[in-house]
């Protein structure tokens, strides 16, 4: 408890938002000038290209500064191959002139089988952070009991980050299925846990789309609360439609950048207010083409729209 109270006090200090809000990329730690801002491509939709060297070249040709590789079943690297192949993924990005700081993994807790081997291999290859799976509420347990489970999970993630040198990040993903209630969807529950952890070891991939989907008109109240832990901001857009399965209810429809209701301009204002200077990762969760011509058109269009709001990368 003494350690947690100390970390909480440190996180609340005025210096923390500027010093700890996403400025710990591998480049910033070794004194290399960061681009302001950087736009990385979440590589999941480019998996149809299969070869990471070709995929990296393709992503670079679309104008991106970096790539977020998938290290999970069906991804660019299978978890069982991580120790052998993570250096290759880093090399593919380097060869294309892309940064590659974060990997997306399938494990949930830091003590899950294989988690430590993947994290250490990632750190050895030159990555700086990972994003894992999502904790779920157990409806058979009380709120307090669920929170104990989540804190235990974050204990394990912080411990893994300290041992491996690879920062653990958690994304606030909205509950897309009523039967799969995700922890962190409302962000306030995520804040109530993450506030006790060192932002150098545990961070957040803040997702304005998921915040808007869960928070409605009050979506903007959460960014400031978790600002010291924001390492990456995920970019994607959506709007609500009536659910065909139940016309009295609604569901999310993911769309290309600028076609939805996410208020990116207000997101930018809030980040500037709170001193958050993150990396951006562009996601493409709509019906994204699995062929190069269509993929290029959407990837470049999304990037152009986000640059108009958040600023142009100096890598252009």
- Tell me if 95 is assigned to some domain: yes
As a whole number, mean pLDDT of residues 209-237 equals 96
For residue 232, the domain's CATH number is 3.20.20.150
- Tell me if 244 is assigned to some domain: yes
Confidence of residue 36 (pLDDT cuts 50, 70, 90): confident
As a whole number, mean pLDDT of residues 295-316 equals 88
* pLDDT, position 313: 59
* Contact predicate 100/89, CB 8 Å: yes
- Tell me if 315 is assigned to some domain: no
Q: Is the pLDDT of residue 179 over 90?
A: no
pTM of the full structure: 0.87
- Tell me if 8 is assigned to some domain: yes
Confidence of residue 312 (pLDDT cuts 50, 70, 90): confident
Say how many domains are in the chain.
Answer: 1
Q: Is the pLDDT of residue 46 over 60?
A: yes
Domain that holds residue 235: 2-310
Angle, helices 82-96 vs 52-61, to 10°: value is 30
- Tell me if 269 is assigned to some domain: yes
* Contact predicate 21/200, CB 8 Å: no
- Tell me if 316 is assigned to some domain: no
181-215 pLDDT, tens per residue? 999 999 999 999 999 999 999 999 999 999 999 99
- Tell me if 13 is assigned to some domain: yes
């Amino acid at each position: 408890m003494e350690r947690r109270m100390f970390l909480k006090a440190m996180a609340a200090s005025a210096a923390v938002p500027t010093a700890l809000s996403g400025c710990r990329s591998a480049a910033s730690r070794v004194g290399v000038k960061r681009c302001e801002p950087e736009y990385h491509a979440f590589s999941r939709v480019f998996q149809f290209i299969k070869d990471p060297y070709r995929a990296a070249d393709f992503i670079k040709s679309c104008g991106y500064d970096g790539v977020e590789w998938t290290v999970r079943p069906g991804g660019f690297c299978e978890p069982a191959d991580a120790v052998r192949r993570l250096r290759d993924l880093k090399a593919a990005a380097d060869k294309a002139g892309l940064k590659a700081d974060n990997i997306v993994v399938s494990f949930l807790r830091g003590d899950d089988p294989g988690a430590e081997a993947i994290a250490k291999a990632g750190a050895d290859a030159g990555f700086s952070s990972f994003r894992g799976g999502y904790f779920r509420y157990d409806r058979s347990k009380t709120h307090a009991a669920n929170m104990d489970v989540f804190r235990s999970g974050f204990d394990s993630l912080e411990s893994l980050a300290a041992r491996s040198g690879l920062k653990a990040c958690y994304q606030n993903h909205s509950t897309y299925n009523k039967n799969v209630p995700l922890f962190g969807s409302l962000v306030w529950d995520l804040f109530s846990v993450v506030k006790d952890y060192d932002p150098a070891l545990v961070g957040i991939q803040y997702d304005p789309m998921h915040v808007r989907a869960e928070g409605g008109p009050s979506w903007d109240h959460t960014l400031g609360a978790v600002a010291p832990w924001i390492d990456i901001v995920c970019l994607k857009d959506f709007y609500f439609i009536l659910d065909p399965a139940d016309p009295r209810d609604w569901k999310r429809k993911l769309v290309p950048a600028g076609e939805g209701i996410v208020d990116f301009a207000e997101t930018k204002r809030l980040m500037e207010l709170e001193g958050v200077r993150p990396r951006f990762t562009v996601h493409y969760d709509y019906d994204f083409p699995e062929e190069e011509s269509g993929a290029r058109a959407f990837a470049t269009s999304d990037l152009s729209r986000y640059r108009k709001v958040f600023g142009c990368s100096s890598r252009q």
